[in-house]
Chains A and B, each alone.
Chain A
Amino acid sequence: MDVLYFAWVRERIGIPREKVETSAATVADFVAELRSREERYELAFSDLTALRVAVDQKLTDFDAPLDGVREVAFFPPMTGG
């Protein structure tokens, strides 16, 4: 699965994207896996209310299932316009 990071999430993790193998059932489970990997993930994901998630380029929430998903992206609230 491709995992993408944007804005300060990208800065805290230190890379814009990576491939991660996971059997996590939901986005929340996957985040828990990442947080246990390294401190930079723990730092980036410490406050989920400050984060948004997109699954296969669609905005969703942390309960979203990951079965069959190709791409997950994490980022702060958007500031377009």
Chain B
Amino acid sequence: MRVVVQEQPFDIGAETTTFASGHKDMGAIVTFTGIVRDLPGDPLQAMEIEHYPGMTEAALTEIAQLAIDRWKLGDALVIHRYGRLVPGEMIMMVATASKHRKNAFEAAEYLMDYLKSRAPFWKREITDAGESWVASKAEDEDALTRW
């Protein structure tokens, strides 16, 4: 398992290649990447992501370990950025490796659902109209109930 919290961009190609190498017994690799999306009607200048150093790494590691145990993954990767990002930039990625694709897909969704509302990150949107903290969505909390 690898958990990375960093300010600088990551290379999704290199990360995926490294992750997918050396897993001869794993037939499926799933990756998900989150991108800073522009806002309709009120162009986004930047997104600032704050986090809780120490707890962030611990929470992501705990979530990744739960996914590994539950879906018998060969490996899991979580990379999440913080700091100032502009639309189109990659915020985060997860990757999962398992024998067959079903577990890899499910575990990736589980990782995404949990790190959306259980990893200590807070997003702030900066637009021409001003700045505001992104509110959590009830649907993100509801998404956890299916697990």
Contact = CB atoms under 8 A, between A and B. Distances in A.
B18 to A, nearest CB: 22
B118 interface: yes
B54 A7 contact: no
A4 interface: yes
B84 interface: no
Contact of A75 (B122, B123, B124): B122
Interface in A9-49: none
Interface string A56-81: 01110000000000000101111111
B1 interface: no
B136 interface: yes
Nearest to A8: B133
Chain B, interface residues (CB within 8 Å), range: 20 to 34
B5 to A, nearest CB: 10
A48 B76 CA distance: 35
B116 interface: yes
A80 B54 contact: no
Interface residues of A, number: 16
B119 interface: yes
Nearest to A54: B55
Contacts of B118: 59, 78, 80
A79 B80 CA distance: 12
B116 A6 contact: no
B133 A73 contact: no
Given A54-B55, A78-B120, A7 B50 contact: yes
Ranked 10 nearest A-B pairs via Cβ? A77-B136, A80-B121, A81-B116, A57-B55, A7-B122, A80-B119, A79-B123, A80-B115, A79-B134, A8-B133
Interface of B: 34, 50, 52, 54-55, 58-59, 80, 91-92, 112, 115-124, 133-136, 141
Given A79-B121, A80-B118, A81-B34, 11 more contacts: A6-B52, A57-B52, A59-B118, A73-B52, A75-B120, A75-B122, A77-B141, A79-B133, A79-B134, A80-B115, A81-B119
Interface of A: 4, 6-8, 54, 57-59, 73, 75-81
